[in-house]
Amino acid sequence: MKIITILLLCCFCFSVFSQHNSVNDKLVIAHRGASGYLPEHSMAAKAMAYAMGADYIEQDVVMSKDDQLLILHDHYLDRVTNVAEVYPNKKRSDGRYYAIDFTLAEIQSLLMTEGFVVKNGKQEAIYPNRFPLWKSKFTVHTLADEIELIQGLNKSTGKQVGIYPEIKSPAFHLQQGKDISLAVLNELKRFGYDNLDDKIFVQSFDPTELKRIKQHLMPKLNMELKLVQLIAMTSWQETLVYHNGTSTPYNYDWMLETNAMEKIATYANGIGPWKPMLINTKMNQQKPKSNGLLEAAHQAGLVVHPYTFRADINRIPKYAQDFDELLHIYYYDIGVDGIFTDFPDKAVQFLQKNKDKRH
């Protein structure tokens, strides 16, 4: 029996109790699925996140050589698959194996596992206490595969779980000759996502591309979806700007300045900041307070969905005694509208325990 079937059978009863229907309008967004328990972006992780009662399930989208929309966190394959073993000669000069250099058939011939790094020639899991490397069988799937799963479960359960696709590295794809944003929008429209009332947020770290989506692509396709501007640290080099064959990192610093939220509100409906961006970091290990970014976002009419909340050992900040306190700080003390978490069950259970609280 396939693992996804087993998960559905085992978790379905739990889902009846865990679905909280956005208690007090606080959202639980399953970050790459239930990735604290199963390999990120596997279909099994998505089924488990659904059963755990997540309001939205995230999809990171990249493109293949033959223009298929894949669910992968990175636009390369070597962090979660055995591509280096199967196709050792297909790496680029930087040593990475890019999804855009492989067909869907080639990619689906690979095995997928927990995220890992290679140290001294040995693979080490990024999160050593999570699902063991190379156990069971997982493969990369397409955006269509995942939407069909979620929509199918919505029909069979009567629930309305939303999707939260991220368009990954759109400037890179354009530089490689592929318009990933247009392809994603066309696919979303094909599955019936085309207006603000639909259970979907479309996110990206690239503000230039979000503006293009808002001002050009969606009007052309007669669509209007909720857009979310993800915010990174400039030092991460999350987004590259290409000019005359060279690339430079996009500077995100302006997004944390006064009046930035009003500018973002001209093309987006929400922000997805790294969670430390919302607090006063000068508090050291004391209980943190809002630094004003959330209030500015709300005043501009933006929802705030920070990332990423993890319950792993050594992943809870020192200012919180445990994962529940971390959730309380952000959901209720800071006042965020939703969170991205690898542990959607824990966030759902927390909100149920605190269902009498209000904004």
pLDDT in tens, the chain (359 residues): 455 544 554 454 454 444 554 556 999 999 999 999 999 999 999 999 999 999 999 999 999 999 999 999 999 999 999 999 999 999 999 999 999 999 999 999 999 999 999 999 999 999 999 999 999 999 999 999 999 999 999 999 999 999 999 999 999 999 999 999 999 999 999 999 999 999 999 999 999 999 999 999 999 999 999 999 999 999 999 999 998 879 999 999 999 998 999 999 999 999 999 999 999 966 555 789 999 999 999 999 999 999 999 999 999 999 999 999 999 999 999 999 999 999 999 999 999 999 877 55
Q: Which of 103, 124, 107, 129 is nearest to 37 (CA)?
A: 129
For residues 78-101, one letter each, b for 16 or more C-beta atoms within 10 angstroms of the residue's C-beta and e for the rest, the string is bbbbbbbeebeeebeeeebbbbbb
With residue 346 as reference, give the H or E element that holds it: helix 344-353
What three-state secondary structure class fits 32?
coil
Place of tokens 């979303």: 188
Asked whether the beta carbons of 30 and 49 are under 8 A apart, the reply is: yes
First to last CA, the chain: 44
With residue 44 as reference, give the H or E element that holds it: helix 43-51
What is the Cα–Cα distance from 317 to 322, expressed in whole angstroms?
A: 9
β-bridge partners, 270:
228, 303
Place of tokens 């976002």: 297
Residues with catalytic annotation? 31, 73
What three-state secondary structure class fits 30?
strand
